[in-house]
Amino acid sequence: MEFREQLHDMNPAIKFLVVVVSMLTLAWFFNPWTPALFFVGIVSIQLVLSRVNWKLWLLMMIPFSITAFGYLWTTVLFAAETGGMVIWTWKSIVVTNEQLSRALSLSFRVIAFSSISLLFALTTQPVKFVMSLMQQFRLSPKLAYGMLVGYQFLPVVKDEFIQIRHAHRLRGVGDEKWWWQRIFGMKRILIPLLAAAVRKAERAAFAMEARGFTGAPRSEFYKPIPLGINDWILSALFLLLLFASCIVGVLWT
């Protein structure tokens, strides 16, 4: 295992559990330092132990950053009176240190949640994640394979949508000028797209039944996803970062 691929090879079920525990823990801390330090730590771990496309990461962080900035200025300007020392005034707007601290806490919390969510999404294979849920968390095979089939259908549905739209344009349909006409015209694409999706789902169900799929729990798997020492070390690293961020955040408040 390469050093910079350890996050990619970490057991997805354990990684998901670490993400959930981290989010639930951060939700109980209202100082700005805890989520800020956790965000810095997550980015540092991701930088060292993964091969993430950082251009894609920055693009995906843009909407979260905009949301965090929205929380910041709306909380500062429209927060209820909480007391504290006045640090800035402008006309009828009064900003105290308590309001600023709460605003920064909400903003950094959004950034911290988004960073660990992106870490999970960019370092986890969806198929491997569902298989690990079945093996480690005893997820029902019916639900698990249903999720896998739905995930496999997404690119197929996208290709079908493009083909139907091109076919309509070749026949001179779908060139409306106004946006509301295009919205109402979407039913010409959605109805055949839905019909094709139902047919494909029915064929997939028949194929799974023909191969002996009953949805019963399994004792063996074709591709087992074990728990190794690397998974426990990385889990301990994340929990140590979470614990340190909480302690330091409380002490600095």
Of the two residues 185 and 228, the one the predictor is more confident about is 228
Which whole number is the average pLDDT over 125-143?
A: 86
Q: Is the pTM of this model over 0.85?
A: no
Give the CA count within 13 Å in the CB-facing half-sphere of 6: 16
Query: Distance of CA 124 to CAs 8, 15, 193, 234, 251, Å?
Result: 6, 9, 30, 14, 34
Read off the DSSP letter of residue 118.
Answer: H
- Structure tokens given for 18: 């670490």
Instruction: Give 167-224 pLDDT, tens digit per residue.
Output: 877 777 666 666 666 677 777 788 888 888 788 878 877 787 777 776 666 666 677 8
pLDDT score recorded for residue 209: 74
Question: Strand 93-96 vs strand 86-90: parallel, antiparallel, or unpaired?
Answer: antiparallel
Q: Output the average pLDDT for the chain.
A: 83
pLDDT at 242 over 60: yes
DSSP codes, 133-200:
HHHHS---HHHHHHHHHHHHHHHHHHHHHHHHHHHHHHTT-S--SSHHHHHHHTHHHHHHHHHHHHHH
pLDDT score recorded for residue 107: 92
Q: How many C-beta atoms surround the C-beta of residue 84 within 10 A?
A: 14
The lowest-confidence range among 130-134, 233-237, 244-248 is: 130-134
